[in-house]
Structure 1
Amino acid sequence: MQPLIVSERLLLWTLASINFTHIVDFMIMMPLGPQLTRLFGISDTQFGLLVSSYSLAAGASGLLVSMFIDRFERKRALLWLYAGFALATLACGLAPDFGSLLAARVAAGVFGGVLGALVQTIVGDAVPFERRGQAMGVVMSAFSLSTVAGVPISLWLASWGGWHAPFFAIAAVSVLVWWGAWRSVPVLQHHLTGVSAQPALVQLRRVVSVGNHWRAFGLSALLVTGSFSIIPYITIYTTTNVGLRDDQVPMVYLIGGVATFFTARMWGWLADRFGKVQVFRTVSVVAVLPMLALTHLPQVPVWVLLIVTTGFFVFVSGRMVPGMALLTAASDPRLRGSFLSVNNALQSGAMGVAAWLGGVMISRGPDGLVQGYERAGWLALVTTALMVWWVGRLQLHTDQRAT
């Protein structure tokens, strides 16, 4: 196993910063659930629409962009998309009501979802497969940073300046990160050979005509279906049924984020050392335990809840590290950008459907408690069992880049 080189680390931390901003932008909606449902007078199902709209928009835009993303140099595409994301996030902060916020969330999803695919594509182009587990560990540590710093700070800003404030802050940070990306991301254009002259529909047809791509799409959808029927409603369930106070919510994300910050890179190292498929299967099976525990949790002391939620963050996010390393190797490098855009489109669609389904499965009893949340846990069990079997059907391209 080879360690990452210095130039790779600089690139990866820049990409992680981009991931950090658009992940915080997506995640902050979930702990704001109780506040937004009260302020706008909306139901849990309508709140689920606010969450899922981002993912569904990301899916639609990813499918469209997949037809021509490989016709552009990677750095230029990254900077334009990231600028659009920053403007859409600013629009979220300026939204005066539910309808305009929903529209702004759709716009943010259009840019944010494609950014995720492009970041993964750049990792696949720039880092050899034998180091890609470590690379994904660094890039996906953005999830940890978003939970340990982004979400708690955003919640503090929301308590101080209203729910609009976190979106203004994310937009401001995005401007600084954009400047850093302009300075540090290298020009990547080896993939352009023989591709740029092709009609857009031809590129999409090439992607969807490969059987192995559909196996990867299936794995990607299974990876998020169970977990995203649970994640948007964690705050609503724990504050309503488990006894967590509103002022204790940031602690859940802070402790979970600290834990995942250290374990994300550990999963990447283990994946490169012991095999990405084996580590993916092992972490996925263990992740079922906190998913079932969280969705069945009664009123418990806060320390018990924190053990369960921290285990949820560590293992559910942990399976994404080897999982995404495998997905970057599921396509020929010259189709990687288009393939990952389609993959992220379908994955975002699956996330949106799962978030919507989670909202449909829960309801409120006469006492105001959430009912039906345990169904999401059983859904996670079924999808994990399928995923552990399905990953063995994936064929890998282990060449290091599109040269």
Structure 2
Amino acid sequence: MSAKERIILLLLAALNFTHIMDFMIMMPLGNFLMPYFNITSQAFSMLVAAYTFSAGLSGFTAAFFVDRFDRKSVLLFGFAGFLIGTICCAIAPSYAMLLGARIVAGLFGGLISAQVLSIVSDLIPYDRRASAMGMIMAAFSVASVFGVPFGLYLANHFSWHAPFYFAAGLGVLLLPLILRYIPAMNKHVHTAKEKRVDPITLVKDIAHNRSQVLALGLSATLMMGHFMIIPFLNPFMEFNKGFSKTQTPMIYFVGGLLTLFTSPLFGRVADKVGKYRLFSILATIALVPVAIITNLPDIPFAVVLCVTGFWFVVSSGRAIPAQAMVSHVVPADRRGSFMSFNSSVQQIFVGLASVVAGFIVVKQPDNTILHYNVTGYFSIAIAICCIYIASLLNKRMQANERIHTEPLAGNINEDIKKAS
């Protein structure tokens, strides 16, 4: 990997960090926001879902035109709007205002993830793409290691508004660096103009392409299974298991610190041993810590950190080869549109997971929650479906590769016969 590629990937990872931190920090703030606004678990889940649903809507809308523009320009537009939404979250004085600000942040944030993945996919060939995805996915790790614990520290010592001020301020500092170092990404524009299709045809093309449908199904089930248990993890650990507000941030710190090292490693391993093989192994292993966390017995906090840390490692690890597989089912001239669809699907199913979890979980008058274990059972069932969908997608990808290589071999054989 060249120095120029590394600089671009690091900047994209830093941009992803601010975006992910803003999204992630809302979930562990549940034990601050529910008592502060005196809201139910369902109302809190809507704060999480509002961002993801609006991001899903904007990503879906952007899919119809995003390939007509320079990916860098779309990224900057989305990031600037996202920062405005985050600042609105920081100054929100009421639940209704905060809900509105989350919707604004999501509308622009929905453009970011798809553009980051599209830029990486355009920049890095498939045989090295999982390694690059590992660097980008490390942003999740840094958000967990530093972003969430530091955000909770700010919330503990100042107010719940403070983490959003921090995320917005960091994003403002990144803007000039993105302008300077990320090049124009517009080679796809000419091809996209020549092959421009109307929105209805674009949706039909995806619907009729089994590989792309399976790729979207993989993203949907991966996100929904994972986020079934995350929104109420922090309240469960504090109110049900009795761990303090100073202890619970350690769950994200330890898990993120581990994945900071394992994410790039899993990326390299995926490129060597096969993306589907690594995904299937890690996705199967991840079922075990989900069952333990959502049915957590009374154990020392150090053991809790071991279980949750292991869960962070395998969960983030399986996402790396999965995203590499998803990015490979579409040509470059339609990659931006498809990745916007993919990002939209991810956001919608993250929001759906939060809403479903909010209706399953019931907050008691003493702030403890009931039925958290049920969200774990749902998560496991969805994860099993995810593994099956990945196997179908892998078979399709292998079949397509044979179709592209076998005719070439056949022509060579015919030439040999004619020559003899």
Q: CA deviation at 1:112?
A: 1.4
SS at match of 1:195: helix
8 A contact 1:55–1:349 mirrored in 2:
yes
Q: Percent identity?
A: 37
The reply on whether 1:39 has 2:36 as its aligned counterpart is yes
Mapped contact 2:17–2:140 kept (Cα < 8 A): yes
Alignment of 1:195-344 (within 5 A): 195-196=192-193, 198=196, 200-201=198-199, 202-344=201-343
In structure 1, give the amino acid aligned to 2:59: G
d(CA) in 2 for partners of 1:243, 1:315:
26
Deviations 1:49-94 (A, max 9, x none): 1011111111111100000000001111111111111111001101
**Contact 1:257–1:313, Cα closer than 8 Å, also in 2:** yes
Match of 2:177 among 160, 166, 180: 180
CA distance in 1, matches of 2:111, 2:227: 19
In structure 2, the gaps of 5 or more residues are 405-420
Corresponding residue for residue 164 of structure 2: 167
Alignment of 1:4-403 (within 5 A): 4-196=1-193, 198=196, 200-201=198-199, 202-364=201-363, 369-394=368-393, 395-396=396-397
Output the CA distance in 2 between the equivalents of 1:385 and 1:203.
30
Give the match's secondary structure for 1:140: helix
Note if contact 1:66-1:204 (Cα within 8 Å) is conserved in structure 2.
Answer: no
Q: Is the 8 A contact 1:204 1:338 kept in 2?
A: no
Query: SS of 2:193's equivalent?
Result: coil
For the 8 Å contact 2:225–2:380, the answer to whether it is kept is yes
How big is each residue's C-alpha offset from its partner over 1:244-299, in whole Å with a ceiling of 9 and x where there is no partner? 11111221111111111001111101100100000000010011111111000033
Contact 1:284 1:388 (8 Å CA) reproduced: yes
Any conservation in 1 of the 2:218–2:389 contact (CA below 8 Å)?
A: yes
What is the letter of the counterpart of residue 319 of structure 1? R
Structure 1: distance between partners of 2:172 and 2:315: 30
The residue identity in structure 2 corresponding to 1:156 is Y
1-structure distance, mates of 2:36, 2:305: 28
Query: Is the CA contact (8 Å cut-off) linking 1:243 and 1:300 kept in structure 2?
Result: no
Q: CA deviation at 1:353?
A: 0.4
Distance in 2 between residues matched to 1:148 and 1:34, nearest whole Å:
20
In 2, the alpha carbon distance for the partners of 1:227 and 1:361 equals: 16
Deviation of 1:339 after TM superposition, in Å, equals 0.4
* Letter of the structure 1 residue corresponding to residue 118 of structure 2: T
The one-letter code of the counterpart of 2:68 is R
Contact 1:48 1:356 in 2 (8 A): yes
Provide the rounded CA distance (Å) in 2 between the counterparts of 1:200 and 1:185. Answer: 30
CA contact (8 A) 2:75 2:111 kept: no
CA distance in 2, matches of 1:196, 1:166: 42
Q: Assess if the C-alpha contact under 8 Å between 1:137 and 1:266 holds in 2.
A: yes
Give me the whole-angstrom Cα distance separating, in 1, the residues matched to 2:364 and 2:41.
Answer: 13
In 1: Cα distance, 2:77 partner to 2:368 partner: 45
Determine which structure has more spread, i.e. the larger CA radius of gyration: 2
CA distance in 2, matches of 1:384, 1:163: 33
**C-alpha spacing 1:312/1:27, structure 2 compared with 1 (3 Å):** same
Give the SS at the match of 1:194.
helix
Question: How many Å separate the matches in 1 of 2:29 and 2:367?
Answer: 19
Aligned length: 396
Whether contact under 8 Å (2:40, 2:363) holds in the other structure is: no
Asked if the contact 2:235–2:368 (Cα under 8 Å) also holds between the matched residues in 1, the reply is no
User: CA–CA distance in 2 between the matches of 1:324 and 1:307?
Assistant: 26
Partner of 2:416: none
Structure 1 contact 241–299 (Cα < 8 Å) conserved = no
SS in 1 for 2:247: helix
Shift of 1:205: 4.3
What is the deviation of 1:195? 1.9
Provide the C-alpha distance between the structure 1 equivalents of 2:190 and 2:3, rounded to a whole number of angstroms: 28
- What is aligned with 2:418? none
- How large is the RMSD of aligned CA atoms in angstroms? 1.7
State the alpha-carbon separation in 2 of the partners of residues 292 and 33 from structure 1: 22
Task: Find the residue that maps to 1:187 and give its secondary structure.
Answer: coil
CA contact (8 A) 1:225 1:351 kept: yes
Deviation at 1:365, TM superposition (A): 5.2
The one-letter amino acid of 2:274's match is: G
